[in-house]
């Protein structure tokens, strides 16, 4: 399979990218990562990488948080990503995983006096949320807030919280979790942001509700306002609001726009995919495949 990696400042087949068991970040979660989608446009025989600039701005902000200094600016990272996919030669939808991390081979939990490095690799795309419509439940796990973590950064160590929530949901027979923040208000899924449709308006937790500020979230808000004339409201959402709205969906690079059919064993609407969710989903898919010229600036062609 043509999976490629950029590792130790070189491109190589993914199977050749090997790391020492003593690498600091593996032990202490001192890495920051991204997930980037490449969508295959069959008519144009082209792969479009979605919103690279925003992904790498978020990554570099996370690097600052972790005191990781990289010899790359956003534009360098964009160029490397395009080159990676070109080298792999993939002509299908794909996923790119960049990771900046503490690379010193040393035991000791800290951020200072450690070397940093950057790697990335690509894989063919696979569906992330298996259900076409998700049955979800409120998690017993809370998303750590600003004094315990940096919710706005994709720090590897913080993802153990997402892992707890995801596995609890699956083992209890659901597809995904709704994770509340420390104040008991709605934050997000284990790896997705969440939107509700309430009285025809799109409602999503505000940026300061201990969420990751998703790039799909931002895209969907723009599409809803500009293409569908919807009012979009960012505000705190109480848990008690979770049972009585018309539609709900998750957003994320991996999840796309993923409809929610049931919350805590209560149907959302009539349990079918709602019209606003469907329209947003279809618009979003067109845009990431480079099929809407108005949004081409979000799409970087590989070939
Ligand atoms: N929240 C969390 C916790 C996530 O891991 C992700 C996936 N990156 C998201 C939300 C959605 O973010 P994005 O739309 O940028 O992929």
Mean pLDDT (the chain, rounded): 96
- Burial environment of residue 96 by CB neighbours within 10 A (0 to 12, 13 to 18, 19 or more): buried
C-alpha distance from residue 135 to each of 132, 169, 191 (Å): 10, 9, 15
Range of the domain at 23: 4-124
287 Cβ neighbours under 8 A, 6+ residues apart: 219, 223, 295, 298, 299
If asked whether residues 170 and 94 sit together in one domain, one would say no
Domain containing 190 — which CATH number? Answer: 3.20.10.10
If asked whether residues 171 and 101 sit together in one domain, one would say no
Unique residue bearing structure tokens 């709602």 = 274
- pLDDT of 227-273, one tens digit each? 999 999 999 999 999 999 999 999 999 999 999 999 999 999 999 99
Nearest atom of ligand 1 to the alpha carbon of 216 = 14
If asked whether residues 106 and 151 sit together in one domain, one would say no
Residue 105 half-sphere exposure toward CB, CA atoms < 13 A: 4
**Is residue 84 within 8 Å of 12, Cβ to Cβ?**
no
C-alpha distance from residue 235 to each of 29, 195, 274 (Å): 31, 11, 22
If asked whether residues 100 and 196 sit together in one domain, one would say no
Residue to mutate (ligand 1; options 150, 155, 214, 219; most atoms within 8 A of CB): 214
* Residue with CA nearest ligand 1 atom 12: 214
- pLDDT of 180-215, one tens digit each? 999 999 999 999 999 999 999 999 999 999 999 999
Of the residues 64, 96, 124, which one is the last residue of a structural domain? Answer: 124
How far does the centroid of ligand 1 lie from the alpha carbon of residue 252, in Å?
5
Which ranges constitute the DSSP H helices of the chain? Answer: 24-28, 52-65, 74-88, 159-171, 215-228, 275-288
**pTM of the entire structure?**
0.97
Residue to mutate (ligand 1; options 37, 62, 216, 281; most atoms within 8 A of CB): 216
- pLDDT of 113-159, one tens digit each? 999 999 999 999 888 887 789 999 999 999 999 889 999 999 999 99
Query: What pLDDT sits at residue 130?
Result: 75
C-alpha distance from residue 287 to each of 38, 50, 209, 228 (Å): 12, 9, 28, 14
Q: How confident is the model at residue 1 (pLDDT cuts 50, 70, 90)?
A: low
């Amino acid at each position: 399979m043509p999976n490629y990696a950029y590792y130790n400042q070189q491109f190589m087949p993914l199977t050749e990218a090997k790391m020492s068991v003593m690498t600091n970040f593996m032990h202490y979660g001192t890495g920051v990562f991204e997930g980037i989608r490449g969508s295959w446009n069959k008519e144009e025989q082209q792969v479009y990488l979605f919103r690279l600039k925003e992904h790498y701005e978020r990554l570099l902000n996370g690097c600052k948080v972790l005191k990781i200094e990289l010899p790359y600016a956003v534009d360098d990272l964009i160029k490397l990503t395009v080159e990676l996919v070109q080298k792999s030669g993939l002509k299908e939808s794909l996923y790119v995983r960049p990771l900046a991390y503490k690379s010193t081979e040393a035991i000791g939990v800290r951020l200072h006096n450690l070397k940093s490095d950057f790697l990335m690799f690509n894989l063919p795309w696979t569906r992330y949320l298996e259900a076409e419509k998700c049955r979800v439940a409120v998690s017993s796990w809370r998303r750590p807030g600003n004094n315990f973590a940096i919710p706005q950064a994709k720090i590897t160590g913080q993802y153990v919280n997402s892992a707890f929530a995801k596995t609890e949901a699956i083992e209890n027979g659901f597809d995904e979790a709704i994770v509340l923040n420390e104040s008991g208000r709605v934050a997000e899924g284990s790896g997705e942001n969440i939107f509700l449709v309430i009285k025809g308006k799109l409602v999503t937790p505000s940026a300061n509700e201990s969420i990751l500020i998703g790039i799909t979230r931002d895209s969907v808000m723009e599409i809803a306002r500009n293409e569908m004339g919807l009012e979009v409201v960012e505000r705190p959402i109480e848990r008690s609001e979770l049972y009585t709205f018309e539609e709900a969906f998750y957003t994320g690079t991996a999840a796309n726009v993923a409809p929610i059919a049931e919350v805590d064993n209560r149907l959302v609407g009539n349990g079918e995919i709602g019209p606003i969710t469907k329209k947003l989903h279809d618009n979003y898919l067109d845009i990431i495949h480079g099929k809407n010229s108005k949004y081409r600036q979000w799409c970087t062609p590989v070939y």
